[in-house]
Amino acid sequence: DFLAINMTEERTVEVPVQLVGEAVGTKEGGVVEQPLFNLEVTATPDNIPESIEVDISELEINDSLSVEDIKVSGDFTIENEASDSIVTVVPPTDEPTEEEIEAMAGEAATEEPEVVGEEKEDESDEDQKEDE
């Protein structure tokens, strides 16, 4: 009971998106975001690509590429909406870097935790005790 694949019948499958190059915007601090990792492709089995390469090397901060920007170089059809965003270079955020996060964690680890229920002695109380 073997199943044979009809090589003339088109099928719709998901194909991974592969980003190629380094976006110009990342050199200026931008961050590459990829909301779409797979595209739906319709083709005969022998024309289904292993992946779809998208060149992002020209992208600057606030630039994006959508499905309509892909140049198809094969005998297949992309079924996703033309306006679906594949990749965007967003401006840098004011979030701390990994080094800053580690430094903050190190500072927090050296501080003594506050004991709940224990009253702090004022310096004036200590001075009075020394005078006695």
With tokens 């915007």, the residue in question is 25
Query: Residue 18 sits in which domain range?
Result: 11-111
Q: Does a structural domain hold residue 2?
A: no
Q: Does a structural domain hold residue 130?
A: no
Report yes or no on whether pTM surpasses 0.85.
Answer: no
CATH number at residue 84: 2.170.120.20
pLDDT at 16: 98
Q: Does a structural domain hold residue 82?
A: yes
Q: Does a structural domain hold residue 43?
A: yes
Q: Does a structural domain hold residue 17?
A: yes
Q: What is the tally of structural domains in the chain?
A: 1
Q: Kindly state the tokens that stand for 2.
A: 């073997």
State the Cα–Cα distance between residues 27 and 109, nearest whole angstrom. Answer: 34
Q: Does a structural domain hold residue 52?
A: yes
pLDDT average, residue stretch 23-27 = 94
CA angle in degrees (0–180, nearest 5) for 117-123-129: 95
Q: Does a structural domain hold residue 59?
A: yes
pLDDT at 73: 83
Report in angstroms the alpha-carbon separations of 96 from 6, 92, 101, 102, 109.
Answer: 55, 11, 6, 10, 18
pLDDT greater than 80 at residue 106: no
pLDDT average, residue stretch 13-19 = 97
Q: Does a structural domain hold residue 78?
A: yes
pLDDT at 124: 52
